[in-house]
Structure 1
């Protein structure tokens, strides 16, 4: 147990015991004081009784038949004067005796008793004069011996009153003292009981804690023993004090005490370990913070080990501490494969963008060659057209193989939180940074969710960050900063969306790019395919990319993307009323579903075809209201082929192309072409106008 905990527990027990001891002593003293009050009460009652008797005696001696009465009779009855004077003398002695008793009980009555005795003395003086005179006529003697009784009577009344007050005061003082002592005794007794109960509860708590600690230690020992990591505990001398089974399995005989120090035994069993190695430092009792290294184990196998060294103190002489060694080979290999897969994905996205652009160009060239072939011409010209078509077919085969590689043969779609992509991008920002350029990835809202391929979006953002980094490298005098953030947005149709913004403080975009030129066609600028990849990814997700230069300097790229969609089925499907549907042809089910969602909102039934063969089957067997097709559809066919087949069946059928590269779809001037994402609203407006012309429009209220 640490000394601080031991000291804390000792203080509690000592303080509790001292409080109980002091309380018991104080309670004992208080009890003795209470016991002493009982004799005091008895003495007070006796004193009060004596005082009352003295007061009664005084009142009797002064009252009727007493002191004054005998004096008056001695005056009025000369024949019996001597007997009355003797009785008078007895009364005077009794008055003085009672006065002395009252003065002893209540010294504060000295003034009143003095006034009373002064009157008594005056009577005694007159009585002595009366005893010596021979006058026998009462009327002659009375004026000579008359004494005023007013002072005596007033003094007697005051004595009675003061005696009562003193009696009440003495009784009240005893009661207050007794109450105070009883209250203090009760409080001390309550304190003793509470302290005893508190110590008892504290003892129970300590017992429970000890049991819990014992159980925790047992569980901890079992947990440590059963952990996947190797756990070692070093003693002060740097030798193994304890280890679990994984440690014994990993290090074997190294852990057994021997004539050589532990660090020497380690270097013999792990020859590749050097002094700067984390495993070496951990076995020396130094701090190691989850460092990973590749080691050749005694059995000859190579494993990635993560080392965590936790010394007890910073004192190099004290090697006591804990070492945790985890085998992270699978994780390291998995992370390496994941990084390789991400690089492959980036390459795949680049290849996909190239393939789509090339196939769109091939489709335009094929349509142009078909038009030339219909016009006729010399045999040489027809031969050249056939050679060109053969070359285009070979080019289509190559692009198909490259596209299969880029997409792994299928379109991957899921609904995912944008924060996941941002977290991954943030973890890669150090590797993407160049020089002093700062890459800031702001947190994404938890509610920001998208539909599509998260790895594709990550590849797009990586390309945009790399483009911005390369642009900043051309202005070394500027402290470069690249900032990526996301804010709520709205699609061109009015649906909820999210705007991913990337800004930098570099030289900005050239005017040619802002005017719509393809980045790859601007030589020497270093933009490469990054912008094309980002634009393709945005289009695949039903959004678009917007480029601009900031007024304060630097470039701004905004990816306007729709919020997460319901995860649609990837089979061709029919939605809405089956009568005269609108056919949507696109090899990307996500893109097709985005179009059908808007058509359904307008009240139109729809059909989706993911391949040219599906589209041709629908065209031949279904009365359609209109056809909207992507340009690049694989299978050696393009959107031009599908639209031409549709108008062969119904010449007046409204048809239009909806592609992410509308600038490359110029092979048929009579077919309107719209760009995916940004031109969605224009597409719907044009479609509604064409259907109104043909009388197949559904009028909106």
Structure 2
């Protein structure tokens, strides 16, 4: 807490401990500060004890609520009090209130204008004075001493009560602040006692487990969490023994990844544990990112391990093919040419296998972009049906509530084609059916399921089908198709599940992170700056195919003129514009039109100094320009 705020807090707490009511008004007759007894003594509403409250409004409220008894002319009374306040002079007075109690009012002016007034309830003192005056001759010295002692005790008791009230108020405010903080925390915070009964919760359980309620105080561990409780019980038991720990698990119904910290509630080392504090957070996106990063590291390691082997293997294949060629030129006995031909075919097949390994272990970048699911299925369906025999039907359907999502359409299309071809091979000539279904698992996962009516997976395939080089197709298969599908899913932060359906046939589920996107963006007016006509035409076609409008400029000078056209949304410029420079052009445009969105395109490597300089400020697209990259550029949240 800043020093000024802390000082203000201490000052107010101290004023509230004073038994007398206190108010300070400034020279403009506005309330500067008051303590709580001032409000409680006169029963004032909150707006009249808030700094800035008008003295006139306060007097009018007191008159209307009978503080001064029956006042024949209220407005004149208020006006007289206000005028007296403006010509303020020090004073002390005692007056009897309408409720029968007597108060003393002592006012003193302040050096810079305004005044401070102290109000003291002297009703008890007045009653004692009247009693003493009426019966002073009958009272003994002992009675007088008892009366004095009683008065002191009463004053001590009143001071204690005031302190307790102030402490109670501060505790209430502290509890409210803690409650507000815990409710705003994006996590479930709770406490269970030794019997496993919830004694506290911040009502955010349903954000982690949507099928559970949030009002769980008084419920047992199992009643509150349902099936998840069994997964957490052993860790809770260890926490009740004093062992703090963290558990990360996947919630089975909705597939969310949850991390829960268990902290024993004990006053100190060796003290008994009275309960356990639970802090649970949704780490689904973090887990997806971890899975994608781990898969990237695996790919890099695989590429390092296989690159050297593949190089040597390719050299061996070259030697084998060369030797076979030389053998075929020699006079060979009958049947030998058939053997050399088979050897040549096997060597070439080994070369194709090397190509597949290179594609699988080489650098691949997942490039998610906004994709309209219905359009994706409409374009994929003809591709899927093309290799199928007449006896096998293919259908595609979606019940995802979001029209568009962020996915890498090209990688997903390749993966789905792999699955469709595998299903075709499993069914044979038919009849049969392959169904592609897209569905959302809450707002966490996008499940893409390919089912078929074939014989299903064997036990060996269920356990090993995702492993590289495992195949059930004999010499016809490389064993890399499902591995590439698995690789794509893991790079996207998801995973793949294989299973046999109860009604027969196989099902392959690609579970990818569900990231909704805008289905239809407003067409953009784009100024395209490129000095090569052929490249300009190619990028223009890509932009117009995406539904955007394009204005073309062949030079930086022409671009500066066209950039003044009203309604322009984007400027996409080549890095090299003849003698000019795209970075300098965008710098000029950024100064002239700060709201204009800018991007660079180039074929220069990332190590190029000018490209690196431009990338510090704007998006940079590498050539050749592809439609998904442009779609992703226009969908960037930080580009708006």
Q: TM-score, normalised by structure 1?
A: 0.23
More helix by share: 1
TM-score (normalised: structure 2): 0.25
Give the structure with higher Rg (CA).
1
